Structure 1
């Protein structure tokens, strides 16, 4: 019976998935990937961040975690995945996120490190836009019980 060997370099066992030795498997495996720059929108009036279809007042670390979760791609064969990150604020619109990813792939430990720039663009959220444009969707009806409102009461209401 023939003994297995690495199909790339011919190394003797042990061989792993795809009949590759550990060295060749590590050379051909990318545990994770993420773009070098991530974009996000922040309301310039209320300072809320756009998250999906809503606006959030989360802190910088929570926002960074959300952005990394949305963009980080991890190898499907990875098990016991652990992701850690730190955020360094560069200026009001830019942060540097350092990401450490560790996992097990085919029984072997793998580690990846990424450094990503999170760039923030100012925009206006719908709530602030409506406030600035004096746009309101509700009308209030103020009624008194059995009497007319006084001028002072009307003034306070307006």
Structure 2
């Protein structure tokens, strides 16, 4: 004879003792705090997460929803749980979050809702506080090797500094900000919040332009028994620039990029890469820069020499053919003037399997 179990609470048949309905009546499916508090910086909108300020572009309502969800607890026996949170504003600092949970408790559909009061407290984060207090740890001094950098170089250095600052901030450097940019004799000074950020900027500018860099330190006080220093990071831009045509090692070389202390060039004679030392780069006569090159038409050609029409004098001029230049009669070619002669330039695109050197990707 088979005996069917019954629920000891309600007397209904139940193979597992207490039936699902009674178990549901005894269970708390959703546990939430009665209230949560969220701290937000009124200047930048960041908020502390596990003790560190973090900037999100989420609305306040979403931040409250995340905070409530992070503290909500669901009964372990609830199957297929689905939770939704709606947040409504009560006044300038008070919000109310309604948390709704649904699922199946055994074979019975179940639903439960809780209300959580939320308070938004405003507090200025460390970064904004220090920015407002003119705090800084380092100054990146950008200077030229022969006089002040050109205006376009200064503008590019500004842009590089902004991108490097943003990258440093995204990597977790909360003190990464540019406090001030000062135009000074011989270049610009970038006053920055973090020494590490200053090094990112210096490295990025160096990667783009080459040159030299170095650091010096100045004692500015004592805090908590420790000396406090400020760092000056000098970035001296090289005399040469990408696209410059120079005369070195008995031939014409086109500057392509900078690798550490070396200047990477391309030989006009055969297209090979040539590396100049700092001393060679400083001494090499500059013919001009590709950005200011003129154009002329080829009227006759052989393997080593091209005859071109000078666009100024309208005279036919003979010029040496660069190793990578495949132009023929009727083609236009670029050239620079040097000591009364025309120096023809090879094309910039990939020719004959040789990849022209380009400025390296910026790293921060």
The TM-score by the shorter chain falls in which range?
A: 0.7 to 0.9
Structure having the larger proportion of residues in strand: 2
Tell me the secondary structure at the aligned position of residue 142 of structure 1.
strand
Shift of 1:5: 1.5
Shift of 1:84: 1.4
- Among 148, 154, 157, the residue aligned to 2:184: 154
* Correspondence list, 1:47-86, <5 A: 47-52=45-50, 53=52, 54-86=54-86
* Correspondence list, 1:124-143, <5 A: 124-143=124-143
Question: 1:4 aligned to 2:5?
Answer: yes
The answer to whether the 8 Å contact 2:87/2:95 transfers is yes
Shift of 1:89: 0.6
Tell me the secondary structure at the aligned position of residue 141 of structure 1.
strand
Aligned twin of 1:111: 111
49-58 vs 38-47, which moves further: 49-58
Q: Which protein, 1 or 2, shows the higher relative CO under an 8 Å CA cutoff with sep ≥ 6?
A: 1
For the structure 1 residues 36 and 157, does the alpha-carbon distance in structure 2 shift closer, same or farther, using more than 3 Å as the test?
A: same
TM-score (norm 2): 0.38
TM-score (norm 1): 0.83
Tell me the secondary structure at the aligned position of residue 79 of structure 2.
strand
Aligned twin of 2:93: 93
The answer to whether the 8 Å contact 1:50/1:56 transfers is no
Larger Rg: 2
The answer to whether the 8 Å contact 1:81/1:102 transfers is yes
Shift of 1:99: 1.4
Give the CA RMSD over aligned residues.
Answer: 2.4
